[in-house]
Amino acid sequence: MKNTFCIIFLTLLLTYLIITACTPTPSPDYTSSQRITVLVSYFERNSTREDMEDYRVGLTDMFITELEKIPELQVVQRKRLDAIMSEAELSEMGIVDASTAQKVGRLVGAQAIYKGSFTTFGSMMRLDGHLIRLETYEVLAAGEDTCKIDDKEIFKMVGKQASIIRDKVKANHNRLLADSFYSKGRTAEENGNPAEAVKLYQMALQYHRGHESSRKALERLSP
């Protein structure tokens, strides 16, 4: 029974990914440097039902697919995340605190992370998710939804949550872009290139005048 349930879910997931991959999306209005990089961490299963374990990866993949449709975003692929976590000697459940999330986020060049979890009760599933700004670990968006454990209903729920993320990304676009340039500036400093770092910190402040980390970095590097 368990194997049959998993096979049905994985078959429907594959069908969903194929359909969404073939669905035309509007041409992006943003260059690569103007997109926010988002990392989707593996979903946590807060349920005693072991037959729901496949939903951890399934929901992660569905959110990656949905977020890729948002022109303001570029999403870290799961293979790249797996490689980074392996190098950092982290398990799938390793992104559990702010410092670890920020470390992994910087390694993949992400400005935000989406962390989700799900639980089940009877024939129902509840999904909870948070979009977190990695620079400050501020929660930009929090959403929860409940639906029947039915693949069509779950796909619909994922799409609804992705819409919430899209709206919050648009509202925080400049702040997150400033985080991107600040992170690049830190890398330039670490590589012994303070002049390049200054340019990047200045770019961060052009996108968000109140970016405190960039302002402090420029004060530190001023002669």
For the stretch 110-162, pLDDT in tens is: 999 999 999 999 999 999 999 999 999 999 999 999 999 998 999 999 999 99
Based on the fold, state whether residues 136 and 194 are members of the same structural domain: no
For residue 22, CA distances in Å to 19, 25, 121 come to 5, 9, 34
**pTM listed for this prediction:** 0.80
Same domain assignment for residues 213 and 109: no
Residues 8 and 46 placed together within one structural domain of the fold:
yes
Mean pLDDT of 46-65: 92
Q: What does DSSP assign to residue 42?
A: P
Mean pLDDT of all residues in 32-39: 86
pLDDT greater than 50 at residue 28:
no
Give residue 103's pLDDT band: very low, low, confident or very high (50, 70, 90).
confident
Alpha-carbon separation of residue 69 from 46, 63, 66, 74, 129 (angstroms): 28, 10, 6, 9, 18
- Looking at the structure, tell me whether residues 75 and 127 fall in a common domain: yes
124 or 105, which is more confident: 124
Strand-pair category, 138-148 with 124-133 = antiparallel
- Share the mean pLDDT of the chain: 85
Q: Which of 169, 196, 212 is the C-terminal boundary of a domain?
A: 169
Predicted local distance difference test score (pLDDT) of residue 34: 82
Range of the domain at 110: 2-169
Length of the chain: 223
pLDDT at residue 101, as a whole number: 83
| Claim to verify: residue 8 and residue 96 sit in the same structural domain | yes
Residues 200 and 214 reside in one and the same domain: yes
Angle (CA) 57 58 64, round 5°: 90
Q: Both 136 and 51 in a single domain?
A: yes
| Same-domain check for residues 129 and 43 | yes
Using CA atoms, how far residue 76 sits from 161, 168, 218, in Å, is 18, 18, 29
pLDDT for res 26: 40
Q: What is the mean pLDDT of residues 151-174?
A: 92
- pLDDT for res 87: 76
- Higher-confidence position of 157 and 19: 157
Instruction: Decide: helix, strand or coil at residue 69.
Output: coil
195, 163 Cβ separation under 8 angstroms: no
Domain-terminating residue out of 154, 169, 184: 169
Q: Which of 7-16, 74-83, 203-212 has the highest mean pLDDT?
A: 203-212
pLDDT reading at 179 higher than 50 = yes
Reported confidence tier of residue 86, pLDDT bands at 50, 70, 90: confident
Residue 55 belongs to a domain with what CATH number?
A: 3.40.50.10610
Give CA separation, 56 vs 2, 6, 113, 187, 218, in Å. 16, 12, 16, 33, 42
Total domains present in the chain: 2
Max mean pLDDT among 78-92, 100-114, 128-142 falls in 128-142
Query: Do residues 105 and 39 share a domain?
Result: yes
